[in-house]
């Protein structure tokens, strides 16, 4: 079975030869991992899911070395230049969101300062310089890349074209706390902003699908975090009114367009946090794959999710980046992989990966332990 | 008193735009700032905390209430200053640890403590261990609260507790930690006194550690 066949079987809820695995990580974690494996280490790597997120896409040599089954590709920022760095050391992305570097013990994150729409009115949204999904740089070289992977490698192709999302990008543009207050007190503004962002997200997806849809096995929509560690961010009622109508449109349209080009193509959606009460709605609106399965969140016990939603969707993720991978021993990582496969893998519908990007605090030995254990315990039929 | 109930409702309903008017009206009728704080704002925030903990309120509601409360306190501050009428229940120093700038949860904890009658010094975000130590030695708090959203920044909690130990001030304070990746197990391992999963339970945990009976 090739990697792609393995992934497609899992997505179609058939048991492949073994549980497929995916890789998602920050650029710092990527360099750590390559260095640990004695592979060439460069300063920069293929940019990740958004302009600012400081993740990267693993190159084929590492995918092969770890036995990963999926290659991630995606759009580029309009203009092709990524972040614009200013003399004061801050940077601006294609949305006009400014960030500064914040250093922690093992790396650096970019964190938002001064959200550009914090004082905006609905009228201001018309004049804002929105990113242009039709900028030629967005899909430049993408078709050649996708064709190369399909023709020369055994891997499934995972693509993300959206560059920020709807509710998620609204938080960045407006400021998270302000957006929450808007949801409570200024819902018309939230609806107007979401409408604008929904159109942009859908257009990025349309342009990407047009360019390479027939090669895309998994289309990941822009990530949209709906949860905290212990609950949904918005009440389910508010979510229904202010977020879900836009998701329904965006998911439905992306799926329709993708499946016109590739009838077996699937839609992947990401949310952090404890969003159990929203799962059924996401499934009804077209989600095929849910990532990243953050098992330490409230009501997010993997076995429960598998029992309640496992026949409808595929789960991608599930190996804990909050405790086990950064703080555990390789033996503890192996045990977590064993338990997760036992819970999630029967009948297919599971792709094993970390429960968020691999972070710079995760020892490479634990990453290797995760992939090795996935191969060892992941052989079907699962007998654990 | 009707006006106090009105202020209490403004906190509970998160009336960020209206609350100052109501508080000003109460001051104009001659009510003491302390009575407004204790008799209306704190009572309202307690109810907000309950609703949040029990899943009736979510972030939009609780963030709005917190901001309404903040506005009211700001208006009252000049009237509260210099008055010795009321001793705080306790003093608290709080911050998001070094390398981390996420503060929505930390801000909610701070406002819940204020609502519960604590004097709160909020050090902000990306707070270095030395800054915590300095604030402890200057203010002499009963409780120190630390927050981190990420496993990568959670290690700064460890560093900060170590710095507090090295300064000789550890025995004078109760340390409570929280944030998405933080667990009771982590709290035990790094030598914190308590852990709380959300803002409302953080106040309960502090009251328990300080043996303040309700």
Question: For A108-154, how does the pLDDT look when each residue is reduced to its tens digit (9 = 90+)?
Answer: 999 999 999 999 999 999 999 999 999 999 999 999 999 999 999 99
Task: Spell out the residues 6+ positions from residue A280 whose beta carbon is closer than 8 angstroms to its own.
Answer: A309
Count CA within 13 A, CB hemisphere, residue A95. Answer: 28
DSSP A229: S
In total, how many domains does chain A have? 1
Q: Is residue A54 part of a domain?
A: yes
Taking a C-beta distance cutoff of 8 angstroms, is the pair B171, B140 a contact? no
What's the confidence (pLDDT) of residue A47?
Answer: 84
Taking a C-beta distance cutoff of 8 angstroms, is the pair A151, A208 a contact? no
Q: Is residue A381 part of a domain?
A: yes
- Classify residue A86 as exposed, middle or buried by CB count within 10 Å of its CB (0-12, 13-18, 19+): exposed
Q: Is residue A229 part of a domain?
A: no
Beta bridge partners of A232: A227
**Which residues form the domain of A44?**
1-69+292-300+313-384
Taking a C-beta distance cutoff of 8 angstroms, is the pair A284, A243 a contact? no
Task: Spell out the residues 6+ positions from residue B140 whose beta carbon is closer than 8 angstroms to its own.
Answer: B91, B172
Question: For B150-184, how does the pLDDT look when each residue is reduced to its tens digit (9 = 90+)?
Answer: 999 999 999 999 999 999 999 999 999 999 999 99
What's the confidence (pLDDT) of residue A45?
Answer: 87
Q: H helices within chain A, ranges in order?
A: 3-11, 27-36, 60-66, 124-127, 142-152, 167-174, 176-185, 187-212, 236-242, 244-261, 279-284, 302-309, 324-327, 330-344, 364-377
pLDDT over 60 (residue B84)? no
Distances (CA, A) of B87 to B31, B76, B80: 18, 16, 11
State whether residue A377 is helix, strand or coil. Answer: helix
Residue A317 CA to residue A66 CA, distance in Å, equals 16
Q: Is residue A153 part of a domain?
A: no
pLDDT over 80 (residue B81)? no
Provide the mean pLDDT of chain A: 97
Q: Kindly report the backbone phi and psi dihedral angles of residue A163, in degrees, each rounded to the nearest multiple of 5, phi listed first.
A: -120, 25
Mark out chain B residues that contact chain A at CB-CB < 8 A: 14, 16-17, 55, 57-61, 63-64, 67, 98-101, 104-105, 107, 126, 150-153, 155-156, 159, 180-181, 183, 186, 197-198
Residue A267 CA to residue B9 CA, distance in Å, equals 44
Q: What is the dihedral of CA A158, A159, A165, A169, to 10 degrees?
A: 90
Q: Which of B58, B98, B104 sits opposite A177 (nearest CB)?
A: B104
pLDDT over 70 (residue B83)? no
pLDDT over 80 (residue B129)? yes
Q: Is residue A14 part of a domain?
A: yes
Please indicate whether, in this complex, the C-beta atoms of A359 and B152 are within 8 angstroms of each other: yes
Residues in chain A within 8 Å Cβ distance of B197: 229-230
Residue A214 CA to residue A258 CA, distance in Å, equals 8
What's the confidence (pLDDT) of residue B1?
Answer: 82
Please indicate whether, in this complex, the C-beta atoms of A102 and B14 are within 8 angstroms of each other: no
Question: For A281-319, how does the pLDDT look when each residue is reduced to its tens digit (9 = 90+)?
Answer: 999 999 999 999 999 999 999 999 999 999 999 999 999
pLDDT over 90 (residue A349)? yes
Residues in chain B within 8 Å Cβ distance of A181: 14, 16, 60, 63-64, 67
Lowest mean pLDDT among A40-44, A191-195, A202-206: A40-44
Provide the mean pLDDT of chain B: 94
Residue A234 CA to residue A228 CA, distance in Å, equals 10
Residues in chain B within 8 Å Cβ distance of A327: 151
Interface confidence (ipTM) of the complex: 0.92
Angstroms from A235 CA to nearest CA on chain B: 6
Q: How confident is the model at residue B122 (pLDDT cuts 50, 70, 90)?
A: very high
Count Cβ atoms below 10 Å from residue A332 Cβ, excluding itself.
16
Q: Provide the pairing of β-strand A25-26 with A55-56.
A: antiparallel
Q: Which of B58, B67, B155 sits opposite A105 (nearest CB)?
A: B155
Q: Is residue A34 part of a domain?
A: yes
Lowest mean pLDDT among A252-256, A270-274, B163-167, B209-213: B209-213
Q: Is residue A124 part of a domain?
A: no
Q: Is residue A224 part of a domain?
A: no
Percent of all residues in chain A with a pLDDT value above 70, rounded to a whole number: 100
For the stretch B165-200, what's the b/e string if a residue is b when 16 or more beta carbons lie within 10 angstroms of its beta carbon?
Answer: eebebbeebbbbbbbbbbeeebbeebebbbbbbbbb
Nearest residue on chain A to B13, alpha-carbon basis = A184
Q: How confident is the model at residue B85 (pLDDT cuts 50, 70, 90)?
A: low
Model-level pTM? 0.95
Residues in chain B within 8 Å Cβ distance of A228: 59, 105, 180
What's the confidence (pLDDT) of residue A88?
Answer: 96
Residue B3 CA to residue B39 CA, distance in Å, equals 10
What's the confidence (pLDDT) of residue A81?
Answer: 82
Q: Kindly report the backbone phi and psi dihedral angles of residue B76, in degrees, each rounded to the nearest multiple of 5, phi listed first.
A: -80, -25
Nearest residue on chain B to A104, alpha-carbon basis = B99
Residues in chain B within 8 Å Cβ distance of A177: 63, 67, 104, 107
Question: For B197-206, how does the pLDDT look when each residue is reduced to its tens digit (9 = 90+)?
Answer: 999 899 999 9
Question: For B65-78, how does the pLDDT look when each residue is reduced to its tens digit (9 = 90+)?
Answer: 999 999 999 999 89
Distances (CA, A) of A129 to A97, A117, A161, A187: 11, 11, 19, 23
What's the confidence (pLDDT) of residue A257?
Answer: 98
Residues in chain A within 8 Å Cβ distance of B99: 102-105, 109
State whether residue B100 is helix, strand or coil. Answer: coil
What's the confidence (pLDDT) of residue B86?
Answer: 67
pLDDT over 90 (residue B189)? yes
Residue A256 CA to residue A262 CA, distance in Å, equals 10
Percent of all residues in chain A with a pLDDT value above 90, rounded to a whole number: 95
């Amino acid at each position: 079975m090739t990697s792609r066949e393995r992934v497609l079987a899992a997505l179609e809820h058939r048991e492949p030869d073994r549980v497929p695995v995916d890789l998602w990580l920050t650029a710092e974690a990527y360099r750590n991992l390559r260095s640990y494996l004695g592979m060439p280490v460069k300063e920069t790597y293929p940019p990740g899911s958004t302009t600012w997120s400081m993740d990267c896409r693993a190159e084929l040599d590492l995918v092969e070395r770890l036995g990963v089954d999926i290659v991630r590709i995606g759009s580029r920022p309009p203009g092709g230049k990524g972040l614009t760095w200013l003399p004061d050391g801050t940077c601006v992305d294609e949305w006009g969101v400014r960030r500064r570097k914040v250093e922690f013990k093992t790396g650096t994150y970019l964190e938002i300062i001064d959200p550009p729409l914090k004082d905006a009115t609905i009228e201001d949204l018309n004049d804002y310089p929105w990113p242009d999904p039709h900028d030629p740089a967005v899909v430049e070289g993408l078709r050649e890349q996708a064709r190369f992977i399909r023709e020369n490698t055994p891997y499934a192709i995972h693509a993300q074209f959206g560059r920020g999302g709807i509710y998620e990008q609204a938080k960045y543009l407006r400021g998270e706390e302000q957006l929450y207050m808007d949801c409570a007190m200024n819902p018309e503004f939230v609806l107007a902003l979401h409408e604008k962002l929904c159109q942009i997200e859908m257009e990025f997806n349309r342009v990407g699908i047009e360019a390479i849809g027939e090669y895309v096995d998994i289309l990941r929509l822009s990530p949209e975090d709906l949860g905290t560690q212990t609950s949904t961010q918005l009440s389910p009622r508010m979510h229904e009114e202010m977020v879900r109508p836009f998701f329904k449109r965006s998911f439905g349209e992306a799926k329709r367009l993708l499946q016109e080009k590739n009838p077996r193509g699937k839609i992947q959606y990401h949310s952090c946090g404890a969003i159990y009460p929203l799962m059924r709605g996401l499934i009804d609106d077209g989600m095929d794959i849910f990532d990243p399965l953050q098992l330490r969140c409230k009501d997010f016990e993997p076995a429960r999710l598998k029992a309640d939603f496992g026949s409808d969707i595929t789960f991608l993720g599930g190996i804990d980046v909050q405790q086990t991978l950064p703080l555990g021993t390789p033996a503890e990582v192996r045990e977590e992989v064993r338990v997760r496969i036992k819970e999630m893998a029967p009948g297919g519908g599971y792709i094993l990966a970390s429960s968020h990007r691999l972070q710079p605090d995760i020892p490479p030995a634990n990453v290797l332990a995760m992939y090795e254990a996935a191969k060892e315990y992941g052989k079907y039929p699962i007998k654990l | 008193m009707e006006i106090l109930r009105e202020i209490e409702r403004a906190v509970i309903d998160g009336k960020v735009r209206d609350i100052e008017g109501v508080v000003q009206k109460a001051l104009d009728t001659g009510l003491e700032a302390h009575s407004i704080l204790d008799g209306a704002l704190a009572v309202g925030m307690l109810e907000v905390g309950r609703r949040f903990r029990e899943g009736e309120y979510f972030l939009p509601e609780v963030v709005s209430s917190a901001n309404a409360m903040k506005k009211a306190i700001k208006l009252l501050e000049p009237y509260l200053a210099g008055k010795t009428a009321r001793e705080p229940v306790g003093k608290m120093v709080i911050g998001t640890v070094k390398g981390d700038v996420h503060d929505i949860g930390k801000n909610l904890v701070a406002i819940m403590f204020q609502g519960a009658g604590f004097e709160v010094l909020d050090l902000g975000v990306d707070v270095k261990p030395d800054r915590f130590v300095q604030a402890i030695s200057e203010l002499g708090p009963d409780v120190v609260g630390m927050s981190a959203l990420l496993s990568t920044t959670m290690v700064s909690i460890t560093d900060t507790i170590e710095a507090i130990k090295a300064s000789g001030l550890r025995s004078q304070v109760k340390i409570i930690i929280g944030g998405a990746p933080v667990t009771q197990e982590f709290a035990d391992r790094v030598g914190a006194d308590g852990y709380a999963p959300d803002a409302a339970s953080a106040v309960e945990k502090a009251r328990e550690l300080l043996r303040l009976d309700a």
